[in-house]
Amino acid sequence: MSVTYKAPLRDMEFVYYELLGGQDINQLPGYEDAEPDTIKAILEEAAKFAETVFLPLNQSGDEQACQLNDCVVTVPDGFKDAYDQFCEGGWTALTEDPIYGGMGLPYSVSVMMSEMLSATNQSLAMYAGLTHGAAKAIHACGSDEQRKTYLPKFADGSWSGTMCLTEAQCGTDLGLIQTKAIPNEKGSHNLTGTKIFISAGEHELTDNIIHLVLARLPDAPPGIKGISLFLVPKYLFDADCNIGDRNPVTCGAIEHKMGIKGSATCVINMDDAEGYMIGTEHKGMQAMFVMMNSARLGTGIQGLAAGEQAYQGAVEYARDRVQMRSLTGVKYPDKKADPIIVHPDVRRMLLTIRAYTEGCRAMTYWIAQELDQFAKNPDADRREEADDFASLLTPVIKAFCSDTGFDSTNLGVQVYGGHGYISEHGMEQFVRDARIAQLYEGTNGIQALDLVGRKMAMHNGRLVKRFFTKIGEFIAQENQNESLAEFIKPLVNSFSHLQQATGWIAKHAAKNPDHAGGASVDFLRIFGLVTVGYMWVRMVKIAQENQQGSDAHFYKAKIKTGRFYMQKLLPQTSSLLASIEAGSDSLMEFDEAYF
Amino acid sequence: MSVTYKAPLRDMEFVYYELLGGQDINQLPGYEDAEPDTIKAILEEAAKFAETVFLPLNQSGDEQACQLNDCVVTVPDGFKDAYDQFCEGGWTALTEDPIYGGMGLPYSVSVMMSEMLSATNQSLAMYAGLTHGAAKAIHACGSDEQRKTYLPKFADGSWSGTMCLTEAQCGTDLGLIQTKAIPNEKGSHNLTGTKIFISAGEHELTDNIIHLVLARLPDAPPGIKGISLFLVPKYLFDADCNIGDRNPVTCGAIEHKMGIKGSATCVINMDDAEGYMIGTEHKGMQAMFVMMNSARLGTGIQGLAAGEQAYQGAVEYARDRVQMRSLTGVKYPDKKADPIIVHPDVRRMLLTIRAYTEGCRAMTYWIAQELDQFAKNPDADRREEADDFASLLTPVIKAFCSDTGFDSTNLGVQVYGGHGYISEHGMEQFVRDARIAQLYEGTNGIQALDLVGRKMAMHNGRLVKRFFTKIGEFIAQENQNESLAEFIKPLVNSFSHLQQATGWIAKHAAKNPDHAGGASVDFLRIFGLVTVGYMWVRMVKIAQENQQGSDAHFYKAKIKTGRFYMQKLLPQTSSLLASIEAGSDSLMEFDEAYF
């Protein structure tokens, strides 16, 4: 028995429309085509595609893994055909700019597609996923000619993109980059150096691969202020994009890793490889951040998708597997034992996965829609607000969703008992695949530092003030709503923990920044718990208003899952606050030699 | 770079002697040989053996995994030679009864050896580890003849033992066992059926494998009360134990699994295989519980060992890897960046692993010494006390140590960042190997049910009362100790959470047992946190008294690790209590159809 998957379209639509008002997104200039019926049709097609094309290759892709022979990477069987179908279906063009061959649909629509693709085949989804970020970076920071050259190729999927940041001596600390870019006679640059951990760095799925490479010019100042960004194609090409000579940018090795084995993680060697600068000299990090923010949200989506996979796999097993009788008496007398779904602790595990997953979906889709507002809303104030929310919550989404996603895959295994450890059932693969999301695109510890160190301080705390005001207004508005009281009360409680934690950090970090560093991971977790709690109360409110209708089932489940979240998961904030308020002396006073 | 390991002998000795008074264990009749010098020499030898023989085969064992061809299991290269050295060194005889060729040393000594073996090669350690449980079961429940036949073979390691409980339709619910045992003309039984998940079920390391098999006699009552236990040898043998015909008990398949790939997890088919009953008809579960309790403690030790592995790997990397500068200014101006051990969040991860590992070591060794008291103390009251503590804490050790061990391996990976995900560094293997300990020998959810459902109620609550009294007395005794006040205060606080949780469950479970089931996992976690907290305060007290001596370094680190535990980890109890007191209605009122 291996795991199946049905795209959670009902819940996606609930969040996208009923919670977030996505039916109005087509009123934004440029998104006129994003009508509810169109989006609905797209989602249904994406669901079918994910379920029938991506899912069947997930387990076999893990077993076969990628292979490297003579600098050529062979992807698992079926991946090439699936990728071709992905391009033919127009999926690579979904959100790209219509000027360059894209469909120009909102980013938030692609997020739902990404969730389905990642849930059904995380490795395969990554080949397409990074190209979008490369396109965004070129769109934002490239020259007009660069846009015209590359973006149509990305939109039709015939070329793909990579992000080449990491080197052996630096991941987090990109100021240590050593790859060199020397101006040449042609007006371009010759790049030499070695990059590691390059996802989709080499493969034969596309006609060309465009590496976005961080490197140093000869006169570059040291550190992070001396980094420039270059486009380094696998194959050189002429003015009409006809493929020419191989550029000396080659795959020296692929990594053997815990999971996402169908995704090629490459060592990329450049030996005087020709490259073309994007944007301004020494300002490469700006363009890279465009790409990185997109990748960070994408990583959060992987966590969310992992939770959904794990939930569906675990529920199926919990209904099917019979073992022991219910503590309150036999529930299925015709069976030799009761299905394990009757046992309270199995329900605890299932509801934990579900409450995190649905809550993370709401949080992630909200920020996706905010990014669409930021992109297209004519009102500058609204754009600023949207940008503030997105900037503040990007590290939270990346870290919180990947943490809860990983925990969810482990709960999924736990529901299976010993069978969860056996590869054929598919559950342990989810654990191995999900683990990467806590590590790449900036470890979750780095996300926490981004939150406490950069985002909290940005514009004199405007981002966080705006966010707290939003939650505070919602609480004030619903405080007299009796039917919501049991949900509002724990939100108020945990929101006060978040505010106290914020105050503690503000007060102590000024004196000693290690207090912020020591508190950062606990703080990000409180932030995620409260944000998801806020989304849950909003969802419950809508569900309460609809529970008499034809879809009562769905809304009642929503209310009950929300109740579980508020009662059983949200209380974590009190312990996290206690840990933060204990300070970081116990961390920093531990002599280095004692470790 | 791959992970190294140095056995933590200093900490082991601190716990064994200074904390627990193990220098007096040789005063117990039968343990006269267990003099401190003897134990010290054994530990040093065991450390050398683990570091030089087991450790070098850990990564290669994972890569090669076990192979099955024509019912023959091939273990990874080097395992046979290492196992032979293990036997030649007399390690298999360590705790076995001298009457049957054993050395008769206390169980608590073997626990320290097991920790080192499991830390260096969990898969390889399992081949020897289960034999000890089989020996215990035969010793406790077998006939004199059975003891004389099998125990010398187990003591010299030439034969090994297995536990054959699980079948495809039952793991937790052994009442569903279908394997049949039919009396034959020879006075023995013919067994037919299929067992799954049999660790070390087939291999060529030993001359014979003795399967301890649960099966039903033809007249057996249904359910758990109709299970008998049989010895089913791989090879039949004559009165002098000369190997004869192959018994039809064969390996039909080995599982492909997440980790412990060097350990053969077998499907065992019996087709009229000859077997010999141990103990009384239909009372097989009693003998099996002797084996299972031993295996459960062994599983807790695996969790503890995983934490130690992860800690050592992570510290080494954190000292070596330079990335970014300290938030409070450059610490290593001669390097391009500071070693990541200067960063507060890296320290948080390292200290979390360390505080759990050292705390779990103290808890586990304590119970191991209690089992030695139970085995040999002439005073019946002391034996009862020891048995009470061991019975109460066995599920806690199994679940809490395997949970924190798994979390520790993940923190170890997180310290490495993306490099942690790459197989060659060895950190991700620890995660995959450690994951099994939460699943086998009764999932951790089953341990929690054992704690709340059986152990709390046993002898009218005597076990838990005795344990709470012990902690209460310690607190009363140290309450005026000013230098200990900062440690006692959080212990008092969390101990009150444990007592409140106990009261809540006692009150509500009587009305509805689902309240106990729904609270069980949270409750076991509080129980583990408080027990480990209690051990920490006792350790700190000893360390405070010794911090002026020649080994000041060690004791100061102990105090600081204890402070970290009390300030940063123990506060989890407040949230867990809140979750318990929220009750289980949110779990049970969720309609089955809604999942």
Catalytic residue among B96, B167, B385, B441: B441
CA dist A215 and A281 (Å) reads 10
Please give the Cα distance from A564 to A576 (Å, whole number). 19
Mean per-residue pLDDT, B509-522:
95
What is the rounded distance in angstroms from the CA atom of residue A46 to the CA atom of residue A39? 10
Q: Which two tokens stand for residue B411?
A: 């923190």
- Eight-state DSSP code of residue A214: E
β-pairing, B208-215 vs B159-164, is parallel
CB pairs under 8 A between A and B: 267
pLDDT of residue B218: 97
Q: How far is A184 from chain B (nearest CA, A)?
A: 30
The stretch B107-116 carries a mean pLDDT of 98
HSE-CB at B48 with a 13 A cutoff on CA atoms is 7
Q: Which residues of A touch B561 (CB under 8 A)?
A: 590
d(CA A195, CA A63): 26
For residue A567, the chain B residues in CB contact (below 8 A) are: 579, 582-583, 586
pLDDT at A242 over 70: yes
> A284 vs chain B: nearest CA distance in angstroms?
19
Tens digits of residue pLDDT in B207-238: 999 999 999 999 999 999 999 999 999 999 99
Q: Which residues of chain A neighbour B254 with C-beta distances below 8 Å?
A: none
| Confidence category of residue B2, pLDDT binned at 50, 70, 90 | low
CA end-to-end span of chain A, whole Å? 46
Amino acid, res. B242: N
Nearest-CA distance A207 → chain B (Å): 29
- Cβ neighbors of B300 (< 8 A, separation 6 or more) are B360, B364, B397, B398, B399, B400, B401, B402, B437
* Contact at CB, B439 and A413, closer than 8 angstroms: yes
Instruction: Give chain A positions within 8 Å (CB) of B514.
Output: 326-328, 344
Q: Is the pLDDT of residue B3 over 80?
A: no
pLDDT at A3 over 80: no
How distant is the Cα of A344 from the closest Cα of chain B, in angstroms? 5
Q: Does the active-site annotation cover B441?
A: yes
Least CB-CB distance to B517: which of A345, A513, A579? A345
**Least CA distance to B438: which residue of chain A?**
A414
pLDDT bucket at B548, cuts 50 / 70 / 90: confident
User: Taking Cα atoms as reference points, which of A285, A176, A224, A519 lies closest to residue B327?
Assistant: A519
What band does B1 get if pLDDT is binned at 50, 70 and 90? low
d(CA A554, CA A546): 9
pLDDT single digits (tens) A38-97: 999 999 999 999 999 999 999 999 999 999 999 999 999 999 999 999 999 999 999 999
Are the beta carbons of A569 and A531 closer than 8 angstroms?
A: no
What average pLDDT does the segment A408-416 reach? 98
Tokens in use for B209?
A: 């494998």
Phi, psi of B377 (to 5 degrees): -70, 130
Residues A580 and A501 sit within 8 Å (Cβ to Cβ): yes
pLDDT at B84 over 70: yes
Q: Which of A202, A308, A358, A441 is labelled catalytic?
A: A441
Q: Do A439 and B424 touch (CB under 8 A)?
A: no
- For residue A14, the 8-state DSSP code is I
The pLDDT assigned to A287 comes to 84
Q: Pick from B322, B521, B563: which is nearest to A348 by CB?
A: B521
Half-sphere exposure of B154 (CA within 13 A, CB side): 32
Query: In angstroms, rounded to a whole number, what is the distance separating the alpha carbons of residues A109 and A28?
Result: 14
Name which residue leads in pLDDT, A294 or B22.
B22
- Residue of chain A whose Cα is closest to the Cα of B198: A418
**CB B50, CB B119: distance < 8 Å:** yes
pLDDT band at A103 (very low <50, low <70, confident <90, very high): very high
In chain A, which residues have their Cβ closer than 8 Å to the Cβ of B517?
A: 327, 343-345
Local confidence band at A464 (pLDDT 50, 70, 90 cut-offs): very high
A341 CB neighbours in chain B (<8 A) are 592, 595
Contact call for residues B258 and B249 (beta carbons, < 8 A): no
Q: Compute the distance between CA of residue A224 and CA of residue A173 in angstroms, rounded to an integer.
A: 8
User: How deeply is A372 buried, as exposed, middle or buried, from its count of CB atoms within 10 A (0-12, 13-18, 19+)?
Assistant: buried
Place of tokens 């793909």: A160
- Under 8 Å CB-to-CB from B446, ≥6 apart: which residues? B172
Q: Do A586 and B568 touch (CB under 8 A)?
A: yes
Which of A420, A443, A517 is facing B344, going by the closest CB pair? A517
Q: A479: helix, coil or strand?
A: coil
* Lookup: tokens for B341: 């051990």
Q: What percent of chain A has pLDDT over 90?
A: 96
Contact A579, B571 (CB under 8 A): yes
Tell me the average pLDDT across A502-520: 96
The pLDDT value recorded for residue B401 is: 98
The residue with tokens 């002439």 is: B378
- Inter-chain residue contact B586 with A563, CB threshold 8 Å: yes
- Which of A337, A439, A517 has its CB closest to that of B418? A439
pLDDT above 80: residue A317: yes
Residue B582 has pLDDT above 80, yes or no: yes
A2 pLDDT tier (thresholds 50, 70, 90): low
- Distance from C-alpha of A134 to C-alpha of A150, rounded to nearest angstrom: 10
DSSP one-letter string for B291-357: HHHHHHHHHHHHHHHHHHHHHHHHHHHHHH-B-S--TTS-S-TTSSS-BGGGSHHHHHHHHHHHHHH
Q: Once rounded to an integer, what is the mean pLDDT over residues A545-559?
A: 93
Task: Point out the residue among A323, A349, A587 whose CB comes nearest to the CB of B173.
Answer: A323
Pick A560's closest partner by Cβ from B166, B424, B590.
B590
User: Using a CB-CB distance cutoff of 8 angstroms, which residues of chain B are in contact with residue A571?
Assistant: 575, 578-579, 582
Q: Which of B1, B6, B62, B258 to probe by mutation at the A interface, max A CB count within 10 Å? A: B258
How many angstroms separate the CA atoms of A169 and B322, rounded?
Answer: 8
Give the residues across from A170 on adjacent strands.
A167
Structure tokens at A226: 């001396």
Pairwise CA distance, residues B24 & B382, whole Å: 15
* Contact of A311 with A356, CB cutoff 8 Å: no
Q: Residue A350: what pLDDT? A: 98
Contact residues on chain A for B591, CB-CB shorter than 8 A:
556-557, 560
Chain B residue with minimal CA distance to A588? Answer: B344
A62, A164, A450, A567: which to substitute to probe chain B, counting the most B Cβ within 10 Å?
A567
Q: How many CA atoms lie within 13 A of A582 on its CB side?
A: 25
What average pLDDT is seen over chain A? 97
CA–CA dist A365, A386 (Å, integer): 13
Q: Which two tokens stand for residue A508?
A: 């102590």
CB contact under 8 A, B587 and A351: yes
SS3 assignment, position A261? coil
Residue B158 has pLDDT above 80, yes or no: yes
Distance, in Å, from the CA atom of B188 to the CA atom of A516, rounded to the nearest integer, reads: 70
Q: With an 8 Å Cβ cutoff, are B424 and A170 in contact?
A: no
pLDDT at A328: 93
A345 to B319: CB separation less than 8 angstroms, yes or no: no
A173/B337 touch (CB, cutoff 8 Å), yes or no: yes
For position A1, what pLDDT does the model report?
53
Taking all residues of chain B, what is their mean pLDDT, rounded to a whole number? 97
Average pLDDT, stretch B441-463?
Answer: 97
Give the count of beta carbons closer than 10 Å to the beta carbon of residue A28.
Answer: 16
**Which positions in chain A touch B557 (Cβ < 8 Å)?**
590-591, 594
Nearest CB neighbour to B344, from listed A410, A518, A556: A518
The pLDDT of residue A184: 98
pTM of this prediction?
A: 0.98
Q: Do B575 and A579 touch (CB under 8 A)?
A: no
DSSP category for residue A247 = P
Q: Above pLDDT 70, what percent of chain A?
A: 100
Average pLDDT over residues A468-497: 98
Least confident of B128-142, B321-335, B468-482: B128-142
